[in-house]
Amino acid sequence: MELFDYYNIELSGKNVVIINRSNLVGKPLYHLMLERDATVTTCHSKTKNLAEQCLGADIVITAVGNRAHFTLTDSMIREGAVVIDVGTSRVNGKLAGDADYDGIIKKASYATPVPGGVGPMTRAMLLRNTVTAASISKGFVTNR
């Protein structure tokens, strides 16, 4: 959500596809997106027409984490789509996300790389939330 806010990416009325239905990623994201008035579709391993679903999306958030079974490619996204890659996998021994980043970045308006995208962002948010929680517990005023 911080990434969307920082880059002024409007969510209201947008079609969002989330490829993940876990309690950790997909379900909380579904609610966060819905609260911002997006139209949200949750996909998973049993989804039949995944490429078609993604092609209809303004925003694709992918969190599969298994490049042996799934890669988000440029042919699966529409021109100008926003791609948030939460997945962590290995390709030829190297850390990689779900997306073929070099391919999708030519078509997407924004895309997060792996490494260097959602991972460090998550750590930064964890630190901020920790400071906020500690401040509240000590009765300090915070602006978040």
Ligand X SMILES: NC(=O)c1ccc[n+]([C@@H]2O[C@H](COP(=O)([O-])OP(=O)(O)OC[C@H]3O[C@@H](n4cnc5c(N)ncnc54)[C@H](OP(=O)(O)O)[C@@H]3O)[C@@H](O)[C@H]2O)c1
**Residue ranges in contact with ligand X by CB under 6 A:** 19-22, 24-26, 43-47, 50, 63-66, 69-70, 86-88, 118-119, 122
Residue 25 in contact with residue 49, Cβ under 8 Å? no
Least distance (Å) between residue 68 CB and ligand X: 9
Q: Alpha helices of 1-144 — where are they, by DSSP H?
A: 2-6, 26-35, 50-55, 101-104, 118-137
The C-alpha atoms of residue 9 and residue 20 are separated, in whole angstroms, by: 21
Least distance (Å) between residue 141 CB and ligand X: 29
103 vs 119 by CB, closer to ligand X: 119
19 vs 99 by CB, closer to ligand X: 19
11 vs 43 by CB, closer to ligand X: 43
Strand partners, 60: 17, 83
Angle of CA points 130, 65, 69, to nearest 5°: 170
DSSP state of 76: G
51 vs 136 by CB, closer to ligand X: 51
Indicate the residue whose CB is closest to ligand X. 65
Least distance (Å) between residue 47 CB and ligand X: 6
The C-alpha atoms of residue 24 and residue 86 are separated, in whole angstroms, by: 11
Least distance (Å) between residue 19 CB and ligand X: 5
